[in-house]
Structure 1
Amino acid sequence: MRVAGVQHDIVWEDPDANFERLAPQIAAAAHSGARLIALTEMYSTGFSLDAARIAQPAGGPSRRFLVEQARRHDVWICG
């Protein structure tokens, strides 16, 4: 199994901007043959001391992004 690690330049506390940056990197990893793609721990928001500001509900935007990307590229993604 080919595994890819993806690290991007995080936009602090801005999930949508981070999703835009990650999507092409995920696509590139998938097209290079990766079946499992590992993102950084705080891939969607970066580290923040304001947990209330960055909190997302279960099944929220970050999960939807991961599911959509995994389905689009037929890969497994963790982050």
Structure 2
Amino acid sequence: MVGATYEMWVAGTVSPEDLRDLGAVTVATERAGVVLYGDLADEAALFGLLARVRALGLELLELRRLPAFSPLGDPADADGDGPRLVP
């Protein structure tokens, strides 16, 4: 597997401490929960992220691999107002 961008929906809210533990991901807050975006190098990185989500007790609602090309530009910027990066 070559690197890819993933979109991960989790229920509820995610504390700033938990976001730091998840590493450098882009985050967006939606009505249904929190959407995390991450560029992952390979399958091992994906499984590592899933293990961290589980260890933090977060409820994973959905996980999607995003297409390599988006007509909107950055797939993490689907709403057009720019990505929101975790500090």
- TM-score, length-scaled by structure 1: 0.33
More strand as a share of residues:
2
- Would you tell me which structure has more helix in proportion to its own residues? 1
TM-score, normalization: structure 2?
0.31
